[in-house]
């Protein structure tokens, strides 16, 4: 199947409503019927403001996280429309991919 790998970069304590943004993104991917999505916690990272974000004992909320998903073209369009509708600002990378399942 042809589609896109979309990776969102945020941090643990960034919220949308009552949910962490990363969790909200996972739920939206599930609602779209995405074949899968993964939330990855990172040790350190920095964004466009050049501020270092890291998982520290007293500040786990600043831990960088990635949400990676494989989506068909229409699902990507629906997801990005939801982001616009919800006025969510988040950095992403979108790459064209082929995806599927091997074996039986």
| Per-residue pLDDT, 59 | 57
Say how many CA atoms lie within 13 Å of 75 toward its Cβ. Answer: 22
Which residues have C-beta within 8 Å of that of residue 15, sequence separation ≥ 6?
21
SS3 39: strand
| Of residues 11, 2, 4, 1, the one with CA closest to residue 69 | 4
| Per-residue pLDDT, 13 | 83
User: And the tokens for 80?
Assistant: 């990005």
| Per-residue pLDDT, 19 | 94
| Per-residue pLDDT, 36 | 86
Q: What angle do CA 66, 67, 73 make, to 5 degrees?
A: 135
Q: Can you list the residues of the chain whose pLDDT is less than 50?
A: none
């Amino acid at each position: 199947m042809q589609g896109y790998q979309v990776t969102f970069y945020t941090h643990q304590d960034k919220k949308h409503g009552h949910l962490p943004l990363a969790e909200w993104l996972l739920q939206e991917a599930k609602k779209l019927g995405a074949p899968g999505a993964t939330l990855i916690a990172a040790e350190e990272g920095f964004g466009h403001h050049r501020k270092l974000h890291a998982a520290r004992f007293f500040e786990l909320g600043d831990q960088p996280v990635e949400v990676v998903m494989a989506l068909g073209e229409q699902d990507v369009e629906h997801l990005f429309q939801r982001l616009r509708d919800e006025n969510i600002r988040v950095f992403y990378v979108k790459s064209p991919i082929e995806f599927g399942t091997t074996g039986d």
